[in-house]
Amino acid sequence: MDFWVNSNMMTMDSATQVFTILKQPDHDYLTKEDFKPVLRDLLDNHPGLEFLKSTPEFQERYAETVVYRIFYCLNRIGNGLLSLRELKRGNLLDSLRHADDEEDINKVLRYFSYEHFYVIYCKFWELDTDHDFFIDKENLIKYGNHALTYRIVDRIFSEVPRKFTSKIPGKMCYEDFVHFILSEEDKSSEPSQDYWFKCIDLDGNGILTHIELQYFFEEQLHRMECMAQEPVLFEDILCQLVDMIGPEDDTFFTIKDFRRCKLSGHFFNVLFNLNKFMAFESRDPFLIRQMREEPSLTDWDRFARREYIRLAMEEDGEDASNASGDVWDESLESPF
């Protein structure tokens, strides 16, 4: 009680109360470590996560992933120090309340869904072929069935969109991958727009010129030709992109232009993700139906659902062919 009185806690709004309780006494920010008690309590008491109690190593991975997602969405400056202002601007408290009220953790789509964690971790594991918990360029180029261009992967590994926390040149750690996959699979979110804008902005001047767009589209065009696809002239693509985004000045694009447009994801896919570019151009009926049926879901939510179903079916098939196998026997870091 003394703490609440002496700290004036009863006069604070809920976000400030949470911030004050979690932060270190001499700090005016939250670090990833400060969220450990929250995740520990969630893992100990939430019925939707009870099955993880027998595997503490995966409890730890789940907790890490949740915190990485929180900082990806809220800590927009990317310094790993979450301010009170950033906490208030986000939706973390609503998500915590949702997790507290909802027994099915997978219905808490923001941050806490176990299925979302499962997808992220398994996608990382698929690429990390030597299981040293690092990914290099040659690993990442295989992502999404070789969907990305070499030029965009080079930009990622140049640490342009964000500095790698791995601290190892040419190596992406799990936290770095979480930022990548969230950006890749939902390009309509503001953190993702920032991520890819920095990649395309070759000279770092805050605008995307037609020359920069053409540099990235050249590799896409080459890939289309190799696949015997009908090539599309850059001039035609540029007209489409201008019409799509509607920039204030037709000669360049700014990050503000993308904030106003719901189709920003397709803009980036045109430049460096051939599979998604072609799916959009062909008006994939499956994707269109998904968006119509559940318009409240984000691109990330839809991707995670598809991938979780795929991974679960693959695991069921493996269990059927090897009924005596124990999926937890391989190693500490083996996926599920």
**For residue 259, what are the domain limits?**
150-317
Please tell me whether residues 181 and 54 are part of one structural domain. Answer: no
pLDDT higher than 60, residue 95: yes
The reported pLDDT for the residue numbered 315 is: 78
Task: Give a yes or no: residue 248 inside a domain.
Answer: yes
pLDDT band at residue 280, thresholds of 50, 70 and 90?
Answer: confident
H helices present in 148-284, as ranges: 150-157, 174-185, 190-200, 210-226, 234-245, 255-259, 264-272, 274-281
pLDDT higher than 60, residue 329: no
CATH (domain of 38): 1.10.238.220
Please tell me whether residues 86 and 225 are part of one structural domain. Answer: no
Please tell me whether residues 174 and 258 are part of one structural domain. Answer: yes
Read off the pTM.
Answer: 0.90
72-89 pLDDT, tens digit per residue, is 999 999 999 999 999 999
* Choice between 325 and 248, residue whose per-residue pLDDT is larger: 248
Average pLDDT, the chain: 90
Please tell me whether residues 195 and 291 are part of one structural domain. Answer: yes
The reported pLDDT for the residue numbered 331 is: 44
Neighbours of 129 (CB within 10 A): 11
Q: What is the mean pLDDT of residues 10-37?
A: 92
CATH (domain of 282): 1.10.238.10
The reported pLDDT for the residue numbered 304 is: 97
Number of structural domains in the chain: 2
Rg (CA), the chain: 22
Please tell me whether residues 300 and 171 are part of one structural domain. Answer: yes
Please tell me whether residues 203 and 268 are part of one structural domain. Answer: yes
Please tell me whether residues 168 and 308 are part of one structural domain. Answer: yes
